[in-house]
Structure 1
Amino acid sequence: MAGHRRTLCLALDMSKFSHPRFAEVWGTASGKLVTLEISYIPMVMASELLSKAVSHEGSSTVKPPMFASLQKLCLSIDCITDALISSISEGLVSLSYLDLQDAPVTEPSGALDLTNAGLQQINLHGRLKHISLIRSQEYHFTYFKRVNDLGFLLLADTCSTLESICLGGFCRVTDTGFRAILHSCSRLSKLKVSQGSQLTDLVFHDISATSLCLTHVSLNRCNRLTDVAISRLSSNAGLTVVDLRDSRNLGDDALATLSTLSKLQVLLLDGTDIGDLGLSYLSGKLTSLVSLSVRGCKRLTNNCIPSIFNHSLGGTLQIVDLSKLPSLSDNGILLLAKSGVPIAELRMRECPLIGDVSVMALASMQVKGRWLGSSLRLLDLYDSGGITQLAFRWFKKPYFPRLRWLGVTGSSNRDLVDALIRSRPFLNIACCGEELGASYWDVSPSWYWPEEEEVDELEQWLLEGGDDSEEDMNED
């Protein structure tokens, strides 16, 4: 780790590198290290590492060179504790970005958990601009039981300069605590809350009275929120990303309000109670929308397709997720094909009525005289009920020439998948249900339209005279 490295990202399970002299090894780290990210490190090892950042000689604090310049720290650990927060806050004096996520395997004890007192220790040096504190239920159903509204009031008092905040698993915090954040952090532009079980419409009751200019808002699994909350939230006319996934009490009226947001680029509505009527409110509006997800919105039918793929909305739309829609059928995809919208990503996983006809329609769809494949880079059909061996013929050249990611069910089509992999070396095929594509939260439009075009297999095939020397898939 010696040298002048400024960024260090370790996609490792650090528990496998436990050693009595673990912390000493970090003494060779660059004194110019600005960013440190570790995929997983046990809390004991993290505390040992961070103890190097705070060593006391009498009453003075000595900062080791390796952490003197650290500005961004991202750790996934087994349990976030007050002691860990204290070590970070005291030792990392230049820190501006703190991202901590834990996933306890058992219920944390009082001494080994985050409490109101720990939240009060955050940002002792006043430089934090981003905070993310997330408790995952990956191994054990738990949350931050020792943090309530008082903790958030203390956090708001010490973190008034925050620009971005992500909070997950604070199920004892009510509207009072969250409103304290909104009303104290006047520079806040990005707000993400997950598992906000106590959050109600009152949290945004007087948000228009604040000076907030929110651009990104995520409210996941906040099931007490209704359309009224979204109406008030929409007073922030500069919103570009709105993520309402799994907040199941939000419906069509919420979309009527969101349709007024002229700068909206990303709208994620998975698992909400919207229907065809709600999506019709978007028709002719949201002309900046790049990404739309309606995964698991069970009230939607084929009638929603014209609203999504109309010319005004479809002019910028590049990413669409229609997964887990029980009523979506091949007839809906035929309507999509007629629209001629040049989307880059299309997900239709776990749609029981989607079959071979949809694949054929997409493969032969024309966009300004060219195949849809000239723009489609990702297609996810995993576990769609009607896909058979016939559909695989349409993934051969020259169809879908720019497709780079394909999701299919491979268990019953292994030979066809293997042949397709040999035939199209540029195509990444996922057969086991893996999610494909970039993160929803970190939206980067340049990812979809790179300055330098990738290899176009159709053009390459034509230049080579259409002579496919590679092994074709079995036609049977």
Structure 2
Amino acid sequence: MSSFATAEVCDAHASHLASGDLRALQPIFKIYGQCRAFSGPVVTLKVFEDNVLVREHLESKGEGRVLVIDGGGSMRCALVGGNLGQLAQNNGWVGIVVNGCIRDVDEINGCDIGVRALASHPQKSYKRGNGEKGVPVHIGGTLIHDGEWLYADSDGILVSKTELTEAEIFSKTHRGEREREEGKNGHSVMAHKRSTSTAVAGSASATVGGDSLLERIPENLLNEIFLKLEPETLSSLSSLACVSRTLQSSVNNVLSSFSSAFSLDPQTFDGIRRNLGNIQKITLDCLRLSDSSIRNLLGPDVEELILLKCSSLSCRFLSSIGRTCPNLSQLLLIEFRVLTLEFSGFIDKSSVFDLNFRGSLENCRSLESLKIKIRGGEINDYSFMLLGIYHLLPKTIKILKLQPSISLDTLVFFRTIPIPHTTFSQTLTQISLVLDTITDLLLHTITHSLPLLTDLDLKDQPSSDTSDDLSDLGIQSLIHCKNLTHLSLIRIRHHSSTSFKRTTDMGFFLLSEGCKQLESVRLSGFSKVSDAGFTSILNSCSNLKKFEIQNTHLLTDLTFQDVSKVPRVLEEVKLVSCNSITSEGVHEIASCSGLKILDLFGCKSVADSCLGNVSKLRLLTSLNLSGADVTDSGMVILGKIHAPITFLSLRGCKRVTDKGIGHLLSNGKIGNNLTSLDLGHMPGITDYSVGIVVDSCIGLVELCIRNCFHVTNVSMKVLGLKGGIRRVDVYNCSGLTVGCFELLKKPLFRGLQWIGIGKTRVICVGDDGFDEIHRERPWLTICADGCEVGCHDGWQFHKF
């Protein structure tokens, strides 16, 4: 082809770009060689820090072809040097595209070929002869096949499924001739653009003054669009209200409730707050906000208030919320009446005594839901003030969650005050407590004091085994709850390996016979319960939808051997750290066609053989295979799944490599729905996999690649160019350099809300560097510690 321009090709073939027949590579390549523009059929090659196959290809006749080398984006050595550049020129290759580095730049710039590469590096590559020829390669955010056509010039690189003929391309020369011809005829292109713009502007202004097309848009459609807007754009919503009556109504509807999914900075928050009217529902991440910011938002119209991460708010303010929002209530049977507070236990101990909720709760006499959560610190430090809440609960309360709470204090209150005097006992249906120890007496007292109980959620964290620990007698007392549908008994194992050693199969037999109405069961730490006990619950509770077992080594495949013989309504199965579960058990579980969530975290004996059955689950939305013994071959099977999976975790699947990720996402079925993907702790993952993910997962919002040592700055740049990514975890990715810090600046990573960079070289920029990013992106949280994505359970331990 004598002349072409990639910009003109894009302009002339918008439909081909939309269909994928024509694709543009991301602008990550630098230009080398004498030929600024080149084109030809593609020859693909995949290697990693090894250029033996590169030389082998360039020693053959090029015949006008382009060698596309996927080097995994490695920035540690060069794949092409001056000798290979000269060899390519002599053998008739027109160009080389390297997803990696080159060296001998001056020599390559003297060769009559075109070269594109990520960077230059003085170190040569290894000589092992490893690699793959003629395979599809992911480079620059797109999949390139052997035999396709590549077009490169100063504007960028295009890949076409077929060769573009002269007639299909407007070159820059053709464009100049066309403009000169139009000038002769008195039809200047710029004049035409100006006249078109004027006409459009006039039409728009006339429309606003007359019958606006906006008035014809259904209001429910506008509401749906506004609800999907990011919080930082909410401040501009009210300015739209003057455009049309429909917009004004929709804006008012959206701004009647406010929810922030991440930590807003004060400036952004104040900009939003000024445009809010009579706000009724508030869910707010308060990590960066002060008392005054939130006080100005609260008012008598607030009916639902959820304040999370309140570490920067004073105890005095938290205690006065009820006086600020006396109407934390609303009409019965419409919605919950909610107050939720979550704050850090690592606060100034001298201010703890200001945290007195009497003033708040006495003013909230229609409160239906109260949740107070103190994260971190010792249970004994704060339980005394939560104990007083029992005495202040209004008679309307239905849902109560307290963290932490001392077992003895809770027991004393329920046992010393008669039930008729505890008015909330006649309304409370859901209770959730985080305790020091769950005992038989506590469970017996709660179940006899709350006759309407439907949801019971108890967690404890004893420092050692106790003589009054939960036993079969305590489990038996649950049969007095005739309305119980949701049961959760969890022993947390953060610092000790204690378990419910006094609870056996007999207790579970009694539970299954007395509570057949159970719909959800969550159990953790029952080390003495075997398959017989768990099977009795599965078989007796015909309405069971959620079944979660954690840290139980006696649970085996036998529990599920008859699952396929009886129709089930199971929608969620979680078997966390149940090491005795194998592929056979998962095979049986997959017979439940209604499954939506399957969590096999830590089930090390689960392998590829069960993935065929899992892939047949048509309703599955969440799949966790963390730590499973699956391989690249299993990814081929999983890649054929038709279920609308939005969450997938392969964390710690050490036998899955780049090749497996390619198989998983190559057909686009999973990638079309995935919003959250965890590839952490996988040594076989490199920049190549990240490129595949970016190219295939259109709606990806959250990506975890922590402890992936071969991930480099190339991955960060590719992620930064992808729109829509909100949370990225690159903790302990040792391949990242200090230069990665520059990628956090605009315009890359548009919309990013959270990034974890702990144990990477990026933190070497220090506070001054982070302050610079914070000024540019005040709503971005940069976590330099080891928190999981979002710092949901870790923010209380550190400062950002």
TM-score (norm 2): 0.51
Q: Which residue among 511, 516, 525 is the counterpart of 1:155?
A: 511
Asked if 1:408 corresponds to 2:772, the answer is no
Q: CA deviation at 1:152?
A: 0.5
Distance in 2 of aligned mates of 1:42 and 1:397:
49
Distance in 2 of aligned mates of 1:394 and 1:411:
13
The structure with more radius of gyration: 2
The code of the aligned residue for 1:16 comes to D
Q: Deviations over 1:213-267 (max 9, x none)?
A: 1000000111111100011111100100000000110011122210010110000
Q: Is the 8 A contact 1:107 1:140 kept in 2?
A: no
Distance in 2 of aligned mates of 1:392 and 1:309:
29
Q: Is the 8 A contact 1:23 1:48 kept in 2?
A: no
Distance in 1 of aligned mates of 2:544 and 2:411:
30
Q: Find the counterpart in structure 2 of residue 97 from structure 1.
A: 455
Distance in 2 of aligned mates of 1:318 and 1:98:
32
Q: CA deviation at 1:125?
A: 3.2
Q: Find the counterpart in structure 2 of residue 66 from structure 1.
A: 424
| More displaced stretch, 89-98 vs 380-389 | 380-389
Partner of 2:616: helix, strand, or coil?
Answer: coil
Asked if 1:262 corresponds to 2:618, the answer is yes
Q: Find the counterpart in structure 2 of residue 396 from structure 1.
A: 745
Q: Is the 8 A contact 1:168 1:195 kept in 2?
A: yes
Number of residue equivalences: 423
Q: Find the counterpart in structure 1 of residue 680 from structure 2.
A: 323
Asked if 1:207 corresponds to 2:563, the answer is yes
Partner of 2:728: helix, strand, or coil?
Answer: strand
The code of the aligned residue for 2:741 comes to F
Q: Find the counterpart in structure 2 of residue 451 from structure 1.
A: none
Partner of 2:390: helix, strand, or coil?
Answer: helix
Q: Find the counterpart in structure 1 of residue 371 from structure 2.
A: 9
TM-score (norm 1): 0.85
Q: Find the counterpart in structure 2 of residue 418 from structure 1.
A: 771
Matches within 5 A, 1:442-457: none
Distance in 2 of aligned mates of 1:101 and 1:238:
29
Q: Is the 8 A contact 1:380 1:406 kept in 2?
A: yes
Q: Which residue among 401, 408, 425 is the counterpart of 1:44?
A: 408
The code of the aligned residue for 2:735 comes to G
Q: Is the 8 A contact 1:302 1:327 kept in 2?
A: yes
Q: Find the counterpart in structure 2 of residue 86 from structure 1.
A: 444
Partner of 1:229: helix, strand, or coil?
Answer: helix
Q: CA deviation at 1:18?
A: 5.9
Q: CA deviation at 1:63?
A: 5.2
Matches within 5 A, 1:350-365: 350-364=707-721
Asked if 1:378 corresponds to 2:740, the answer is no
Q: CA deviation at 1:159?
A: 0.9
Partner of 1:232: helix, strand, or coil?
Answer: helix
Matches within 5 A, 1:428-439: 428-437=781-790
Q: CA deviation at 1:127?
A: 0.6
Alpha-carbon distance change, 25 to 324 in structure 1, aligned in 2, over 3 angstroms: closer
Q: CA deviation at 1:17?
A: 4.8
Alpha-carbon distance change, 326 to 185 in structure 1, aligned in 2, over 3 angstroms: same
Q: Is the 8 A contact 2:757 2:763 kept in 1?
A: no
Distance in 2 of aligned mates of 1:98 and 1:296:
33
Q: CA deviation at 1:141?
A: 1.4
| More displaced stretch, 8-17 vs 155-164 | 8-17
Q: Find the counterpart in structure 1 of residue 649 from structure 2.
A: 293
| More displaced stretch, 214-223 vs 309-318 | 309-318
Alpha-carbon distance change, 268 to 437 in structure 1, aligned in 2, over 3 angstroms: farther
Q: CA deviation at 1:385?
A: 1.1
Alpha-carbon distance change, 351 to 413 in structure 1, aligned in 2, over 3 angstroms: farther
The code of the aligned residue for 1:397 comes to K
| More displaced stretch, 258-267 vs 394-403 | 394-403
Q: CA deviation at 1:72?
A: 0.8
Q: Is the 8 A contact 1:314 1:341 kept in 2?
A: yes
Alpha-carbon distance change, 32 to 262 in structure 1, aligned in 2, over 3 angstroms: same
Runs of 5+ in structure 2 lacking a partner?
A: 1-360, 794-800
Q: Is the 8 A contact 1:273 1:297 kept in 2?
A: yes
Q: Deviations over 1:97-131 (max 9, x none)?
A: 0000111111111xx21010110001403011000
Q: Which residue among 126, 147, 152 is the counterpart of 2:482?
A: 126
The code of the aligned residue for 2:366 comes to H
Asked if 1:26 corresponds to 2:383, the answer is no
Q: Is the 8 A contact 1:301 1:328 kept in 2?
A: yes
The code of the aligned residue for 2:427 comes to S
Asked if 1:243 corresponds to 2:595, the answer is no
Q: Is the 8 A contact 2:383 2:406 kept in 1?
A: no
The code of the aligned residue for 1:40 comes to P
Partner of 2:459: helix, strand, or coil?
Answer: strand
Asked if 1:218 corresponds to 2:574, the answer is yes
Q: Find the counterpart in structure 2 of residue 387 from structure 1.
A: 736
The code of the aligned residue for 1:31 comes to K
Percent identity over the alignment? 31
Q: Is the 8 A contact 2:387 2:405 kept in 1?
A: no
Q: CA deviation at 1:342?
A: 3.0
Runs of 5+ in structure 1 lacking a partner?
A: 56-60, 365-371, 441-476
The code of the aligned residue for 1:226 comes to T
Q: Which residue among 467, 471, 474 is the counterpart of 1:115?
A: 471
Matches within 5 A, 1:176-187: 176-187=532-543
Q: Is the 8 A contact 1:27 1:66 kept in 2?
A: no
Q: Deviations over 1:268-291 (max 9, x none)?
A: 111111111112112132340100
Alpha-carbon distance change, 309 to 392 in structure 1, aligned in 2, over 3 angstroms: farther
RMSD: 2.0
Q: CA deviation at 1:329?
A: 1.0
> Which structure: greater helix fraction?
2
Alpha-carbon distance change, 438 to 23 in structure 1, aligned in 2, over 3 angstroms: closer
